[in-house]
Structure 1
């Protein structure tokens, strides 16, 4: 099992501010995350799959 990503890890990977990830979460957008206590955690494969799926969205 691989290490879970933090909000900072996802922010670095996507090249976006942490605040954008929190904003997206309130809008049901962005990579899926789960709460672990008061922290958000992401599976790396979920983040990359979400990112790859953007190619399939119509602008």
Structure 2
């Protein structure tokens, strides 16, 4: 991921979504395989995420943390 800010007016790559969420790319692939995580779409052979979908997914996460 480069030092430039994530653009809100384009689809995010899996690397962009990974950077935003602070999780490894492999975690996103794993979540996708389990039917979890933010919704992504195939654009050609590439996996892309709409920034608003990723942010909505984060907003919908439970705030409960196991002690």
**TM over 0.5, yes or no?**
yes
Separation in 2 of the partners of 1:38 and 1:19?
A: 17
Q: Which residue of structure 2 lines up, in the alignment, with residue 22 of structure 1?
A: 29
TM-score by length of 1: 0.89
* Structure richer in helix, relative to its length: 1
Q: How many residues align?
A: 58
Counterpart pick for 2:42 among 35, 50, 56: 35
Tell me: higher relative CO, structure 1 or 2? Use CA pairs within 8 A at least 6 residues apart. Answer: 1
List gaps (5 residues or longer) in structure 2: 1-7
List gaps (5 residues or longer) in structure 1: none
Tell me the C-alpha RMSD between the 2 structures.
1.8
